[in-house]
Structure 1
């Protein structure tokens, strides 16, 4: 029974499959399967129930995982005590929703790269639900997502609120002015983020509450695609104002006055409550400082050499 075999058991349990565990451990799937088989032969008991591509722990497996986590935790404590712990090397896995990618995240990544030059950052751009799931599964060290989970397993920090608006091409309503009635507008696509995201839920709730059924809600996972389509008059879009700030200022896009105040999206920085990483906490602090300096979730341009920042 070695450390790698115990790690294989833990990751198969966390991710629910041998394939996903192999990817997380940077091993081949046969190698992971072989380690599990060797453990099962040594213990003379099954560790996992196998049902198609999914696996789950047997009672023996539950006991083994409990011991494995304690053993590996003791190993990490021993290494840290004997060698001295320096976490400013290695990989930091960051998950983020796309809104941050198009506002303040690129500048934050530049500062992280400059401050932690021995750290490699793996960035996962995804929907909020998936980011939260991956943090809880140990697949991400920190994530920026919409809406607090209030899970006791997570430490969550409020970063900012993104103002939401229904926007369209400046040519679409340029001659109307004033308030727009969605009920009387001709049928057209209204685009927003993927299903199971807060903006998609906001849009569907709005249309349902107003009894509007003739507009089509189109879910997309690419902000540039949505912006390009509405700039060309391909429909309307519910988006954070900051991701289209430049187009609004240029008059290419326009915020539609529909007579309703749309709820803002709360941006959260989440990480496991017991992660114990000073680097992760520093990244959250840096993100908060950037956003506070910029205001409203705007990006900040880090100036080289002096550690100061200016608004983009």
Structure 2
């Protein structure tokens, strides 16, 4: 069994068709087909169900996918370990929630110092980013602190205060509870905090509106569409310009810690080691 066969197997499993896998790998389709058949012959079991929509994994194929991911990850780590040098280089895929106010400073300091690193940034909510780090899709992520999976280690970045924001109309907290709740999708740590506050006040939001970006949420609040729950530092400029106003909630809901998470079992390359060092110097 060759490592390349496992790589091809994973791409076919991900894409669901030989055609798409061939495009991804820049191979001819017949080559992909013969490598999959060779792998099935070696293991003496079918790995895919063939149907008119494409290919789906058999139960045995699903088992192999789990093991092949581990094998190829270890192979990649082995290469990094023996080729490691003092100068960070290569790809670094980092995830982040949208409201990490110190992120530009951290990224700028890192990229300027380590120019051989190809750093990519992906945004999402805490729950999704945690899953992507666990599944090796991201090297690490900035998220809201919570009870993480035991396979993750976290590095504290900074603490912030979350505030309820509304437009400039005079309104009490009780009145604001009746306003539509503007938020990110499920899995957002800030949303979970405010939902807990609502629950403890025996309040059910009349309407929940989900948005994809922080900027859209802030502009929607400013024009009176509803209320939201965000870090005070993320809206300081809008408060100063009297576009929105902040309302303080009890500390049990408002104090939040942003952390950087990564898997505990992955080899700590110089690229990642220096990134963590940069976080600690610029937090």
TM class, shorter-length: 0.7 to 0.9
Larger relative contact order (Cα-Cα within 8 Å, sequence gap ≥ 6): 2
Give the SS at the match of 2:99.
Answer: helix
Which residue does 2:138 correspond to in 1? Answer: 140
| Superposition RMSD in Å | 3.6
Which residue does 1:161 correspond to in 2? Answer: 159
Which residue does 2:84 correspond to in 1? Answer: 85
Give the SS at the match of 2:141.
Answer: strand
The structure 1 residue matched to 2:274, chosen from 278, 282, 286, is 282
The structure 2 residue matched to 1:246, chosen from 224, 237, 256, is 237
Q: Distance in 2 between matches of 1:124 and 1:71?
A: 23
Mark the CA change 1:121 to 1:71 in structure 2 (over 3 Å): closer, same or farther.
Answer: closer
Contiguous gaps of at least 5 residues in structure 1: 292-312
Give the SS at the match of 1:194.
Answer: coil
Q: Distance in 2 between matches of 1:148 and 1:260?
A: 16
Deviation at 1:142, TM superposition (A): 1.2
Deviation at 1:222, TM superposition (A): 1.0
Which residue does 1:55 correspond to in 2? Answer: 57
Which residue does 1:309 correspond to in 2? Answer: none
Asked whether the 8 Å contact 2:6–2:68 carries over to 1, the reply is no
Contiguous gaps of at least 5 residues in structure 2: none
Q: Distance in 2 between matches of 1:244 and 1:198?
A: 17
Which residue does 2:96 correspond to in 1? Answer: 96
Asked whether the 8 Å contact 1:18–1:32 carries over to 2, the reply is no
Instruction: Indicate whether 1:46 and 2:46 are aligned.
Output: yes
Mark the CA change 1:249 to 1:34 in structure 2 (over 3 Å): closer, same or farther.
Answer: farther
Instruction: Indicate whether 1:264 and 2:228 are aligned.
Output: no
Q: Distance in 2 between matches of 1:239 and 1:54?
A: 42
Mark the CA change 1:223 to 1:63 in structure 2 (over 3 Å): closer, same or farther.
Answer: closer
Q: Please list the CA deviations of residues 10-47 of structure 1 after superposition, one character each: whole Å capped at 9, or x if unmatched.
A: 677xxx73459x78x95369676653333113433224
Deviation at 1:227, TM superposition (A): 0.8
Q: Distance in 2 between matches of 1:98 and 1:71?
A: 31
Q: Please list the CA deviations of residues 258-280 of structure 1 after superposition, one character each: whole Å capped at 9, or x if unmatched.
A: 67752323212111112222211
Deviation at 1:166, TM superposition (A): 0.5
Q: Output the TM-score relative to the length of structure 1.
A: 0.73
Which residue does 2:14 correspond to in 1? Answer: 17
Asked whether the 8 Å contact 2:183–2:229 carries over to 1, the reply is yes
Q: Output the TM-score relative to the length of structure 2.
A: 0.80
Deviation at 1:96, TM superposition (A): 0.9
My pick for the range that moved more, 131-140 or 104-113, is 104-113
Deviation at 1:97, TM superposition (A): 0.9
Asked whether the 8 Å contact 2:180–2:205 carries over to 1, the reply is no
Give the SS at the match of 2:36.
Answer: helix
Deviation at 1:123, TM superposition (A): 1.2
